[in-house]
Amino acid sequence: MTTVHIEELTKKFGGKVALDGISLTVEEGEIFGFVGHNGAGKSTFIHTITGVLPKSSGKITMLGEENLDNVKDRMGVMPDTANLYEYMKGVKFLKFMGELKDDKRTKREYVSLMEAVGLGAEGDKKIKDYSFGMRKKISIAQALLGDPDLIILDEPTSGLDPESSIKIRQLVKQLQQEGKTVFLTSHNLDEIEKISDRVGILKEGRIEKLGTPEELKNEKQEKITLAIRTTPALEKEDVDQMKKEVVFLQKEGVYTWLEVDSERLVPDISKAIIDSGKQLYEITPKKESLEDIFINT
């Protein structure tokens, strides 16, 4: 089943186009990550698909419903700026919000939820004394109240220390195992590719690329360059005797640079070098990370 189905969504603020014709589907049980720089339109997208902001045009179908009011109680949202009750203690706040959402948790289970987001020891502290990271974590917990089928998290890990980010990623994976669909955003591609089944790269209100982390990498990785160091040095004639897919680029200092279509050729190349009697010291594929691809788009 398709959980999120967006067609040609646009959102304008006055004359400014924040979302410029976004089409996207997220299937049930999927973790979908939206990544983009600040101002790309991530939060506007979330506000629009959750009905916080009216769309300018396009079609939004969430959990099979075009009327979002019918499915609001099946969505849990962590917005970019959360409204927290500053004078409530952490666990109390969750319990209060949970009751509004008809959450059936016991007091003990609210404490477990605090622990799951990494706030185990902070439950008895008032929210006004929470740090930025703690606020973020309790906002994530709040999005899970009422057992929603679709969980939408706007930059859940930005500004968190690495250990906390890992914990949140584990939690998201666990939610997926429970059958939930998760839509999340980040301005950090390396972060999002670690948990997402599919990633959309958002740039100036448009989807630049869409696919699994592997697909996005492969798309730009038709060519891989290899820096090879051998003694004696690898010459063009040596390379010309290898498979025709292996292309000599240049010699530079102690390195010989080759270009190949796929890193699958690396074992063949190293074998050819060794069979030719040269000593192989180094063979380094220069692969683009998703971050490079993103920055270079």
- For Mg ion, the binding residues (CB under 5 A) are 42-43, 80
Decide if residue 136 touches ligand ADP (CB under 6 A). no
Decide if residue 16 touches ligand ADP (CB under 6 A). yes
CA distance 295 to 223: 18
Q: 244 touches which of ligand ADP, Mg ion, none (CB within 5 to 8 A by kind)?
A: none
Of 43, 48, 139, 230, the residue at the interface with ligand ADP (CB under 6 A) is: 43
In the bound state with ligand ADP, the residue whose beta carbon lies nearer, of 47 and 95, is 47
Q: Is 105 helix (H, G, I), strand (E, B) or coil?
A: coil
Residues in Cβ contact with 157 at an 8 Å cutoff, skipping those fewer than 6 apart: 164, 165, 168, 169, 186, 188, 191
Q: How many CB atoms lie within 10 A of CB 18?
A: 20
CB distance 263 to 284 below 8 Å: no
Shortest distance in whole angstroms from residue 278 CB to ligand ADP: 51
DSSP sequence for 123-145: TTSBGGG--HHHHHHHHHHHHTT
Q: 259 touches which of ligand ADP, Mg ion, none (CB within 5 to 8 A by kind)?
A: none
What do you get for the CA distance between the two ends of the chain, in Å? 32
CA atoms within 13 A on the CB side of 125: 13
Residue span binding ligand ADP (CB under 6 A) among the ranges 32-40, 211-219, 233-241, 263-271? 32-40
In the bound state with ligand ADP, the residue whose beta carbon lies nearer, of 132 and 281, is 132
Q: 134 touches which of Mg ion, ligand ADP, none (CB within 5 to 8 A by kind)?
A: none
Residue nearest Mg ion by beta-carbon distance: 43
Decide if residue 38 touches ligand ADP (CB under 6 A). yes
The contact set with ligand ADP (CB under 6 A) reads: 13, 16, 18, 36, 38-44
